């Protein structure tokens, strides 16, 4: 029997309860990178900033590409949550951690190749290149914990334990910040200090959360998941691994295309001139910041959609989709209004260059359209993650990337306006191309229940 439409799990209050910890924890993510750079800025050579900056860019690319570990885990756990299948959740966690560790060890073993490729791509000075390699070589040892934390976040979000996810991210980021000060300002270290801080922070967060969720009194629903019998059963389930690999593959392709599309936009802007490139970079930076806010309701959608599908409750599903979309749309309009009315203040936070401020003002409408144009794409990413429909996410991204490519071919006549219009259109197309397949998500809630482990 389905629950009524006023089910507490689809109430406005519950959705907000899921969203606000995401917003709080996301605030600390860019702060760590900013402090890392600020620490290097206190040293006597700008090469230290360059080395850390390039190293951070390398790891951001690696971890962003591995985002399927978090997203795939969230969707699978949320559906198991809907079926009240605690053992399945524990097995998903074990398989995710094993996969994260295997990928991490592969990355560590390939460290010389990765750093060599990065050095060739960045074309930095010998000193910056050397510092980047030093930073990356040390920070690679955080990879098992960092990727493991993605899996843990997936379990926490899928179980609608967003406060636990916030706790994990706050532990990692606050320890990182504190150790930055200790190692660099206190002990006089350079790039090795901020790299070691990252390693210590990731492992501290990972080990704490393993203990936290394995307690008998844990509310996460996977207590004692470290039992040998359960681990062996999880590892022997080849069909479940295959399902996760297929889902991860599709999400990885989608993520790679996301990175490629932004790179194409920046590359096009670079050909227009330095001022256009700087303005475009500013717009993309704003987009990255507002994404942290819009992600909150997308994460809520992941958990609620997966739970509704696991329960085979179509009414619950429709309410969850409608309400999370409504809240995301409202937030997008608020963000647009803040950007529209706060243009001068916001621009002066980013730059003091008069020419850049004036040029950005002339193109500010496109910045204001970022949130309204993209919120549906964020939401539908969350909805399709909860439904574990990676194939549709991949295909929609292929359509969107193709649309952007065509638009960029014809944008030259309108300069930066044409380029930014193409980017806004691409964001909208991401949402529309996913919405085209929304009936498949609804159909899942009506489908016969199948047991997955």
**Cα gap 390→252, rounded to integer Å:** 9
- Choose the weakest-confidence range: 5-9, 378-382, 383-387: 5-9
pLDDT of residue 436: 95
What does the pLDDT read at residue 297? 94
Same-domain pairing of 300 and 172: no
Residue 48 in contact with residue 40, Cβ under 8 Å?
Answer: yes
Name the pTM for this structure.
0.87
In-domain check, residue 158: yes
Q: Which domain holds residue 292?
A: 260-446
Give Cβ neighbours of residue 195 (< 8 Å, ≥ 6 apart). 55, 134, 135, 136, 138, 139
Question: pLDDT (tens digit, 9 = 90+) per residue, 141-183?
Answer: 999 999 999 999 999 999 998 988 999 999 998 999 899 889 9
Instruction: Answer yes or no: do 191 and 268 share one domain.
Output: no
- Nearest Cα neighbor of 93 from 252, 295, 233, 300 is 233
Per DSSP, the residues of 11-40 read SHHHHHHHHHHHHHHHHHHHHHHHHHHHHH
Q: Which two tokens stand for residue 333?
A: 């309009």
Do 117 and 157 fall into the same domain? yes
Per-residue pLDDT band at 234 (split at 50, 70, 90): low
The reply to whether 180 and 312 lie within a common domain is: no
Residue 31 confidence (pLDDT)? 72
pLDDT, position 1: 43
| Least confidently predicted of 47-51, 301-305, 381-385 | 47-51
Q: Are residues 373 and 419 in the same domain?
A: yes
Work out how many domains the chain is built from and give that number. Answer: 2
In the prediction, which pLDDT does 59 show? 84
* Structural domain contains residue 75: yes
Q: How far apart are CA 396 and CA 378, in angstroms?
A: 13
């Amino acid at each position: 029997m389905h629950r009524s439409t006023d089910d507490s799990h689809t109430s406005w209050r519950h959705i907000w309860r899921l969203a606000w910890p995401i917003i709080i924890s996301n605030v600390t993510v860019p702060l760590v990178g900013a402090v890392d750079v600020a620490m290097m800025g206190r040293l006597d050579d700008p090469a230290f900033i360059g080395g850390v900056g390039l190293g951070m860019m390398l790891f951001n690319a690696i971890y962003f590409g591995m985002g399927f570990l978090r997203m795939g885990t969230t969707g699978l756990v949320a559906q198991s949550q809907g079926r009240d299948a605690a053992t399945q959740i524990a097995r998903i966690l074990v398989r995710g951690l094993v996969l994260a560790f295997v990928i991490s060890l592969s990355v560590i073993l390939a460290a010389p190749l990765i750093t060599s490729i990065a050095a060739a791509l960045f074309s930095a000075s010998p000193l910056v290149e050397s510092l980047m390699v030093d930073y990356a070589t040390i920070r690679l040892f955080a990879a098992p914990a960092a990727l493991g934390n993605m899996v843990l976040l997936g379990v926490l979000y899928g179980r609608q334990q967003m406060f636990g996810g916030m706790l994990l991210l706050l532990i990692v980021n606050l320890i990182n910040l504190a150790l930055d000060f200790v190692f660099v300002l206190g002990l006089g270290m350079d790039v090795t200090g901020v790299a070691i801080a990252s390693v210590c922070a990731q492992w501290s967060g990972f080990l704490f959360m393993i203990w936290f969720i394995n307690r008998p009194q844990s509310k996460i629903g996977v207590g004692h998941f470290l039992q040998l019998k359960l681990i062996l059963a999880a590892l022997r389930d080849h069909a479940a691994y295959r399902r996760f690999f297929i889902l991860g593959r599709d999400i990885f392709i989608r993520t790679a295309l996301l990175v490629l599309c932004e790179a194409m936009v920046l590359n096009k802007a670079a050909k227009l001139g330095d001022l256009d490139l700087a303005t475009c970079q500013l717009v993309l930076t704003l987009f990255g910041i507002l994404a942290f806010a819009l992600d909150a309701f997308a994460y809520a959608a992941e958990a609620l959609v997966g739970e509704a599908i696991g329960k085979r409750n179509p009414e619950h599903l429709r309410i969850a989709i409608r309400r999370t979309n409504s809240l995301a749309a409202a937030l997008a309009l608020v963000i647009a209004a803040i950007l529209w009315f706060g243009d001068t203040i916001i621009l002066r936070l980013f730059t003091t260059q008069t020419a850049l401020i004036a040029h950005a003002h002339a193109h500010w409408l496109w910045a204001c359209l970022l949130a309204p144009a993209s919120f549906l794409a964020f939401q539908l990413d969350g909805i399709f993650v909860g439904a574990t429909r990676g194939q549709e996410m991949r295909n929609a991204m292929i359509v969107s990337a193709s649309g952007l490519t065509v638009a960029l071919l014809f944008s030259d006549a309108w300069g930066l306006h044409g380029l930014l219009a193409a980017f806004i259109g691409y964001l909208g197309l991401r949402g529309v191309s996913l919405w085209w397949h929304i009936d498949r998500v609804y159909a899942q809630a009506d489908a016969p229940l199948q047991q997955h482990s």
